[in-house]
């Protein structure tokens, strides 16, 4: 049996899960994989800090160089998070011939080209399945199960916090604030939830997914992002009436050399498999030229699911045949695919508060027409009051035309305000 010595950088949530699996499943991994994975070091900042995990303290070190200089260490698994010094540590390890496994989405999204280059130049492996969608093996599927496909589009529910909040709002009619508070209590949301609820976390993951799927570096900054903090229970109810649910979708599409990448609340048909992805679950739906629609669903976060992905990566990293490098241009500055679209097409749901008097709808409709935005349906309910909500759903329309339409509507006599704009994806 082959023995592989491993160092963990960090032993927090995910690192602790990896430690647990490699120890508890030692026998079965040995039997099935012919492999003994031995953790030799665990790098921590403070070796004396109390830890809830039961493991030999002798593994702990606060000196990164001990790991770096130990030629027995073949694989380093990074669970520190953050950019520095995680990035530098990983590159130094690779220069010493060690393969790297990481759960660090931010460092991959922002510094993948550097890391990929270090891996390639030193002939080692760089694995990061746990960085996207926790336990869901979506990156391995893209690398090793879709080679005969051009990927046309990706639709991901890849942030558990926002999906939990939207699910609670949808199922129980909670307000955004109430659902967010519950998410905080349950540990699904950070005390400062901005990174999740405003969609930034999803942009890191979409950057990784889209780069891998489209074979072109998709920088995080090219991704349009809009969070869920503006979603109101009213719109969730109206969505239901229209046969939709609202999800924070991370969307990537490629058409020739043009890529569109965006993260925003999206109405999708309630019969689509993505619509039944609820709570803290994640899912990624991919359309490939040969395979058609393929969806992977599972736990997108959490100690053991993420550790499950990390352990598979560690096992992959023991075999050089599994080392894969990106083929796209390895710089941010000159991505192979230069054309990032900001004038994509989708459907739009627009809610406008108007005075209920003759002529308002006509003037509104005229503005849509002037901007070449075709209306699919208009619903006006509510009694004869001074202020009524108008819900408009458009056919496929261009983002910039819709934005201009909104500006023009705001200036109309009889329009009180534009309350919401939510994009609609009918053709997933």
Verify whether residue 205 is a known catalytic residue.
yes
Q: Per rule CB under 8 A, is residue 156 in the interface with a copy of itself?
A: no
* Active-site residue, from 205, 217, 254, 287: 205
Report, in Å, the least distance between residue 31 CB and a copy of itself: 6
Binding a copy of itself (rule: CB under 8 A), the pick from 43, 309, 350, 392 is 309
- Is 294 a residue that touches a copy of itself (CB under 8 A)? yes
Give the span between the Cα atoms of 205 and 193, in whole angstroms. Answer: 17
Q: Segment contacting a copy of itself (CB under 8 A): 77-85, 220-228, 266-274, 360-368? A: 266-274
- Beta bridge partner(s), residue 284: 156, 296
C-alpha span between 107 and 118 (Å, rounded):
14
Instruction: Report the length, in residues, of the chain.
Output: 428
> Which of 9, 11, 259, 295 is in the footprint of a copy of itself by CB under 8 A?
295
Cβ proximity to a copy of itself: between 321 and 411 the closer is 321
Q: Which of 312, 394, 401, 405 binds a copy of itself (CB under 8 A)?
A: 312
Within 8 A by CB and 6+ apart from 391, the residues are 238, 242, 349, 350, 351, 378, 379, 380
**Phi, psi of 359, deg, nearest 5:** 95, -20
Residue 8's DSSP bridge partners are 42, 77
Please check whether residue 264 is in contact with residue 421, taking contact to mean a CB–CB distance below 8 angstroms. Answer: no
Cα separation of 125 and 2, whole Å?
18
* Residue 271 engages a copy of itself in binding (rule: CB under 8 A): yes
Please tell me whether residue 290 binds a copy of itself under the rule CB under 8 A.
yes
Minimum separation from the CB atom of position 397 to a copy of itself (A): 28
Helical (H) or strand (E) element with 174: none
Tell me, rounded to whole angstroms, the distance of Cα 368 from its chain centroid. 33
Structure tokens at 53: 């995990």
Taking the least distance from each CB to a copy of itself, the nearer of 33 and 70 is 33
**Distance (Å, whole) CA 417 – CA 12:** 48
Contacts of 339 (CB under 8 A, 6+ apart): 257, 258, 259
Q: Which long-range contacts does 321-327 make (Cβ < 8 Å, 24+ apart)?
A: 322/125, 323/99, 323/119, 323/123, 323/124, 323/125, 323/126, 324/125, 324/143, 325/116, 325/119, 325/120, 325/126, 326/112, 326/113, 326/116, 326/211, 326/212, 326/215, 326/217, 327/215
Show contacts with a copy of itself in window 157-216 (CB under 8 A). Answer: 215
Residue 322 or 353 with smaller CB distance to a copy of itself: 322
Q: Which of 224, 297, 332, 340 is the binder for a copy of itself (CB under 8 A)?
A: 297
Contact 280, 163 (CB under 8 A): yes
Q: Report the C-alpha gap between 40 and 56 in whole angstroms.
A: 10
Choice from 36, 47, 60, 304 touching a copy of itself (CB under 8 A): 304
Cα 416 to Cα 387: distance, rounded to the nearest angstrom: 8
CB 250 within 8 A of CB 203: yes
- Total binding residues toward a copy of itself, as defined by CB under 8 A: 59
Query: Applying CB under 8 A, which part among 110-118, 201-209, 231-239, 286-294 lies near a copy of itself?
Result: 286-294
Minimum gap (Å) between residue 141 Cβ and a copy of itself: 6
CB of 391 to a copy of itself, least distance (A): 25
219 or 288, CB closer to a copy of itself?
A: 288
Which among 53-61, 275-283, 365-373, 392-400 is the span making contact with a copy of itself, rule CB under 8 A? Answer: 275-283
Contact call for residue 292 and a copy of itself (CB under 8 A): yes
Residue list 90-109, contact with a copy of itself (CB under 8 A): none
- Indicate the residue among 150 and 177 with the shorter CB distance to a copy of itself: 150
Q: Which of 5, 12, 13, 25 binds a copy of itself (CB under 8 A)?
A: 25
For binding to a copy of itself (CB under 8 A), which residues are involved? 17, 21-22, 25, 28-29, 31-33, 129, 135-137, 140-141, 144-150, 215, 271-273, 275-278, 281, 283, 288-299, 302, 304-305, 307-309, 311-312, 315-316, 319-322, 327
Active site members: 205
């Amino acid at each position: 049996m082959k023995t592989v010595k491993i160092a963990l950088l960090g032993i927090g949530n995910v690192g602790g899960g990896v430690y647990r699996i490699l120890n508890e499943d030692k026998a079965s991994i040995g039997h099935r994989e012919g492999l003994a994975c031995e953790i030799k070091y665990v790098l921590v900042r403070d070796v004396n800090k109390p830890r809830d995990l039961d493991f030999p303290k002798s593994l702990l070190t606060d000196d990164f160089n001990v790991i770096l200089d130990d030629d027995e260490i073949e694989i380093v698994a990074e669970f520190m998070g953050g950019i520095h010094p995680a990035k530098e540590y990983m590159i130094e390890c690779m220069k010493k011939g060690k393969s790297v496994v990481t759960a660090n989405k931010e460092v991959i999204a922002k510094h993948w080209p550097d890391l990929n280059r270090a891996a390639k130049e030193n002939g080692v492996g760089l694995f990061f399945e746990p960085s996207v969608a926790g336990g869901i093996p979506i990156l391995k599927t893209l690398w090793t199960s879709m080679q005969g496909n051009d990927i046309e589009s990706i639709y991901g529910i890849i942030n558990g916090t926002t999906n939990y909040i939207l699910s609670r709002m949808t199922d129980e009619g909670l307000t955004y604030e109430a659902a967010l508070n519950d998410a905080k209590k349950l540990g699904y949301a950070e005390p400062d939830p901005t990174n999740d609820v405003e969609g930034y976390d999803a942009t890191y993951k979409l950057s990784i997914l889209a780069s891998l799927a489209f074979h072109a570096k998709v920088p995080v900054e090219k991704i349009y992002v809009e969070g869920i903090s503006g979603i109101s229970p009213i719109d969730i109810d109206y969505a239901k009436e229209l046969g939709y649910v609202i999800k924070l979708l991370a969307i990537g599409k490629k058409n020739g050399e043009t890529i569109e990448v965006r993260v925003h609340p999206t109405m999708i048909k309630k019969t689509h498999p993505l619509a039944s992805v609820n709570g803290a679950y994640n899912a990624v739906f991919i359309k490939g030229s040969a395979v058609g629609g393929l969806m992977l669903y599972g736990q997108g976060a959490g100690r053991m699911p993420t550790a499950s992905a990390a352990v598979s990566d560690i096992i992959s990293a023991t075999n050089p045949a599994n080392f894969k490098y990106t083929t796209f241009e390895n710089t941010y500055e000159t991505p192979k695919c230069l054309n990032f679209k900001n004038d994509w097409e989708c459907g739009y749901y627009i809610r406008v508060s108007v005075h209920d008097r003759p002529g308002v709808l006509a003037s509104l409709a005229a503005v849509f027409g002037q901007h070449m935005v075709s209306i699919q349906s208009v619903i006006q309910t509510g009694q004869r009051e001074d202020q009524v909500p108008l819900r408009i759903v458009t056919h496929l329309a261009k983002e910039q035309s819709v934005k201009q339409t909104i500006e023009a509507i705001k200036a109309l006599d009889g329009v009180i305000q534009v309350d919401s704009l939510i994009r609609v994806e009918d053709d997933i």
